[in-house]
């Protein structure tokens, strides 16, 4: 949308707008998209915080809906200039069935695409994932790779499979004619492990540490690097792509971009300690405290327990065969494609990202 920058004329739709990333995208749009006239927030579960957003100059429309329901998606998309599709089931813990993950992440994305085509929305940004690439089932490392690095992206787990399928649908839809005769312009953003205010897994680690007397026990070698990116920078990249997609359609349409910033390369556990350490936790062990085969056994036991207990309760611990394999495989990115294509620079420095996250964990302490 290249014309007059300050006229409030644009309608955006954010699916999953009440999620961890979605909320940051919503708030970033309200702060940094001056052309916004209406912001539609589509989510299965609407948050109470939305009410506070309705007092500003932008019309904020909360829509309780399900991306698996095509008619609900079409009604929400109709009249929108831009759709930012973050809604999805981020489940690597066995909380939902593979069928449900596919239905939400793949069929839900297909519904969003078809809604854009049928109602004339021309710009679609999809929140994909590093997991579309890897780690693959062979546990091959991806060391400071970029969007062009050769890598055998082979998956079996329902989550990465669903993200890869959905991303392909979005990229293949680029150029399709929408109602009105103009082409649909799509692109996909691939965040690595997102951290920051609202990251439930970080909160889970913190509470686990509190239960263990202020200690967490190293399970993964410090040498295994895992890419992480601050949620505010991921949100900023989404806003920037949405702003630039129209007049850079030829360059950006049908492209994928890793989400990155200046967060340091560390193991998943050491990176978490950047925030949990200042909140009083200690990571015990300079190397894994138990042999890998024992971790594999414990992970398998957790899977068995989850299956046995399912008729009674949902048992979904952090450690399972998939999370262990992912945590134990180096996956980091080093790229500047987003900067080259649409001028992306991280909005938040590493120091700011760290300070904001620590501040949030400390408030989460109160909710322990």
Ligand X SMILES: NC(=O)C1=CN([C@@H]2O[C@H](COP(=O)(O)OP(=O)(O)OC[C@H]3O[C@@H](n4cnc5c(N)ncnc54)[C@H](O)[C@@H]3O)[C@@H](O)[C@H]2O)C=CC1
Ligand Y SMILES: CC(C)[C@@H](O)CC[C@@H](C)[C@H]1CC[C@H]2[C@@H]3[C@H](O)CC4=CC(=O)CC[C@]4(C)[C@H]3CC[C@]12C
Q: Which of 1, 18, 28, 161 binds ligand X (CB under 6 A)?
A: 18
Q: How far is the CB of 201 from ligand Y (least distance, A)?
A: 5
Question: Interface residues for ligand X in 63-92 (CB under 6 A)?
Answer: 66-68, 86-90
The residues near 302 (Cβ < 8 Å, ≥ 6 apart) are 315, 317, 319, 320
Give CA separation, 346 vs 229, 230, 302, in Å: 10, 9, 38
Q: Which residues of 256-279 are buried (b: 16+ CB within 10 A; e: fewer)?
A: bbbbbbebebbbbbbbbbbbbeeb
* 132 binds ligand Y per the rule CB under 6 A: no
Give CA separation, 3 vs 7, 9, 12, 141, 268, in Å: 9, 10, 16, 44, 43
Q: Which of 10, 39, 43, 360 binds ligand X (CB under 6 A)?
A: 43
* 16 binds ligand X per the rule CB under 6 A: yes
x/- mask, ligand Y, residues 299-338, rule CB under 6 A, reads: -------------------xx---xx-xx-----------
Q: Judge whether 40 and 53 are in contact, CB under 8 Å.
A: no
SS3 at position 336 = coil
- With CB cut-offs between 5 and 8 Å by kind, which of ligand X, ligand Y, none does residue 326 bind? ligand Y
Alpha-carbon dihedral angle through residues 31, 36, 37, 39, given to the nearest 10 degrees: -70
Q: Which helix (H) or strand (E) holds 127?
A: strand 123-127
Q: Judge whether 299 and 321 are in contact, CB under 8 Å.
A: yes
SS3 at position 116 = helix
* 260 binds ligand Y per the rule CB under 6 A: no
- With CB cut-offs between 5 and 8 Å by kind, which of ligand X, ligand Y, none does residue 11 bind? none
Q: Which is nearer to ligand X, 188 or 216 (CB)?
A: 188
Q: Which helix (H) or strand (E) holds 64?
A: strand 59-64
Q: How far is the CB of 110 from ligand X (least distance, A)?
A: 13
- With CB cut-offs between 5 and 8 Å by kind, which of ligand Y, ligand X, none does residue 120 bind? none
x/- mask, ligand Y, residues 39-78, rule CB under 6 A, reads: ----------------------------------------
159 belongs to the catalytic site:
yes
Q: How many residues bind ligand Y (CB under 6 A)?
A: 18
Q: Which of 80, 125, 194, 216 binds ligand X (CB under 6 A)?
A: 194
Which residues of this chain interact with ligand X, rule CB under 6 A?
Answer: 16, 18-22, 43-45, 66-68, 86-90, 104, 108, 127, 129, 163, 191, 193-194
Q: Which positions are catalytic?
A: 159
């Amino acid at each position: 949308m290249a014309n007059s920058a300050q006229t409030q004329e644009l309608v955006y739709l954010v699916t999953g707008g009440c999620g961890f990333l979605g909320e940051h995208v919503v708030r970033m749009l309200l702060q940094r998209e001056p052309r916004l006239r209406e912001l539609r927030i589509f989510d299965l579960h609407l948050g109470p915080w939305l009410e506070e957003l309705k007092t500003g100059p932008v019309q904020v429309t909360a829509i309780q809906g399900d991306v698996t329901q095509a008619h609900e998606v079409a009604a929400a998309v109709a009249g929108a200039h831009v759709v930012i599709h973050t809604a999805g089931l981020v489940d690597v813990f066995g909380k939902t069935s593979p069928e449900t993950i596919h239905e939400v992440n793949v069929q839900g994305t297909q519904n969003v695409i078809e809604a854009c085509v049928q109602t004339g929305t021309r710009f679609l940004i999809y929140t994909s994932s590093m997991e579309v690439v890897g780690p693959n089932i062979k546990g091959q490392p991806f060391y400071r790779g970029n969007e062009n690095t050769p890598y055998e992206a082979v998956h079996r787990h329902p989550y990465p499979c669903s993200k890869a399928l959905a991303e392909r649908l979005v990229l293949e839809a680029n150029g399709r004619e929408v109602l009105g005769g103009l082409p649909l312009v799509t692109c996909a953003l691939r965040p690595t492990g997102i951290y920051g205010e609202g990251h439930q897994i970080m909160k889970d680690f913190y509470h686990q540490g509190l239960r263990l007397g202020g200690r967490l026990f190293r399970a993964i070698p410090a040498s295994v690097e895992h890419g992480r990116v601050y949620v505010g920078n991921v949100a900023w990249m989404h806003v920037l792509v949405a702003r630039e997609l129209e007049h850079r359609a030829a360059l950006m349409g049908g492209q994928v971009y890793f989400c990155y910033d200046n967060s340091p390369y560390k193991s998943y556990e050491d990176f978490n300690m950047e925030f949990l350490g200042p909140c009083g936790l200690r990571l015990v062990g300079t190397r894994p405290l138990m042999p890998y085969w024992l971790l594999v056994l414990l992970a398998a036991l957790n899977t068995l327990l989850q299956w046995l207990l399912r008729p009674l309760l949902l048992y979904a611990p952090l450690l399972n065969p998939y999370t262990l394999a992912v945590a134990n495989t180096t996956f980091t990115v080093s790229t500047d494609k987003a900067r080259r294509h649409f001028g992306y620079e991280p909005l938040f420095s590493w120091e700011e990202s760290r300070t904001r996250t620590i501040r949030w964990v400390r408030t989460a302490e109160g909710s322990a």
